[in-house]
Structure 1
């Protein structure tokens, strides 16, 4: 790590969106510090899909290749640490890390993603990202036609039923308790021969994260090969909120089309600011924010 503590931009989060922003800024000769914990939210996912030129590649391999390319730009520095706190200063911002180092910058980019909150079901977290998936565009092709479950209730369950029926007709909804689907939604789901099982789940039987069975509290079981689910989430990093950044009703960082948050000179990109959680979109929003931040700096300096 360099002794330099002052940068043009600090990027918090060094995965796809953060590295994409860093590359744009590095090519613009900006002094940038990337702070990353080394624990991306998709670390259990075996393969990444629907990202052109990288379809089927391991997520870690994509990130490692991106990091190697980004760090060829000598104005970019990478620090493996956790951003612990942040405050406004007269010239911008100061970020302090968990290891006690403090760095300043004129602008901040948060590419910190979100933290999924696993439901209280034994086996869920072990299967998450492997056989329990959230996005059919990212992983649906790999489980097309398979015996598939939807672990959701209410509007989420209905939306998933509409969407996933295109990938498989062998589809069952598990509400893990009383269904909150409306009568109209239930009738439409039944019309397409999608079963609804409203029993409480005891645990998920799996082998190395590959789902085998749902075991219910009444000791009955259901065999299946894949599950779609959308757990609740929260912001992985609380610093934007402490600095005054607004959140949307969904709990995402509120940004405009240029990835600007509600606080001047603070930007966000990737999963923390988008309901569309994919590598391609993370990279695209990172590229956008890198260009926007540099353009703003050139206007301020000219």
Structure 2
């Protein structure tokens, strides 16, 4: 996606509707993503605005008929064409340009491209994985002795605050196990 790196560096792309969705009430929002992740973010943001377009960046949306029905029922528009340019003006994202659709204007851009947990080492060590996330108990203890997890490799909401909670639970369990 051209200009995306520049937009990320300038803090122009939002990543967390949970954290800042209230700031975009009644904005015209573009969500980049596809599949369940992209649709989930768009549906979550629907609480704050009625004007949402989901961009799959030239990839198939990867939605089944029930998901497409949810999208249409929520009034979320979809564009499967590749984006050729992120338009930035006066320090704000103002639109996405495509060859066929031209430039579509937006107030806010959210990224919903998903998370790719880097769990191959954990898997190689024998830890059980579920959809690339390390399976852990309530103390963040994996299925491998003395191997704890926190953050994106742990199953749950991919949020910094959740990762901090995972880390606190793991640290407490590690501390307690060292006392035994």
Short-chain TM bin: 0.7 to 0.9
Residue 79 of structure 2 is matched in structure 1 by 197
Residue 247 of structure 1 is matched in structure 2 by 129
Residue 83 of structure 1 is matched in structure 2 by none
Structure-2 separation of matches of 1:205 and 1:153: 21
* Alignment counterpart, residue 2 of structure 2, candidates 107, 117, 122: 122
- Deviation track 1:192-220 (CA, whole Å, cap 9, x = no partner) reads 33222222211212359742211113361
Aligned residues: 178
Residue 216 of structure 1 is matched in structure 2 by 98
More helix by share: 2
Superposed, which structure 2 residues align to 1:98-247 within 5 Å?
121-128=1-8, 130-177=11-58, 178-206=60-88, 210-218=92-100, 220-236=102-118, 239-247=121-129
TM-score when scaled to structure 1?
A: 0.52
Residue 141 of structure 2 is matched in structure 1 by 260
Structure 2 unaligned segments of length 5 or more: list them: none
Structure-2 separation of matches of 1:216 and 1:231: 19
- Which has the higher Rg, Structure 1 or Structure 2? 1
Q: Any idea what SS the aligned residue of 1:266 has? A: coil
C-alpha change, 1:159 and 1:221, in structure 2 (3 Å) is same
Question: CA RMSD, aligned part only?
Answer: 2.7
TM-score when scaled to structure 2?
A: 0.81
Residue 90 of structure 1 is matched in structure 2 by none
Q: What displacement does 1:242 show?
A: 4.2
Q: What displacement does 1:248 show?
A: 2.1
Structure 1 unaligned segments of length 5 or more: list them: 1-120
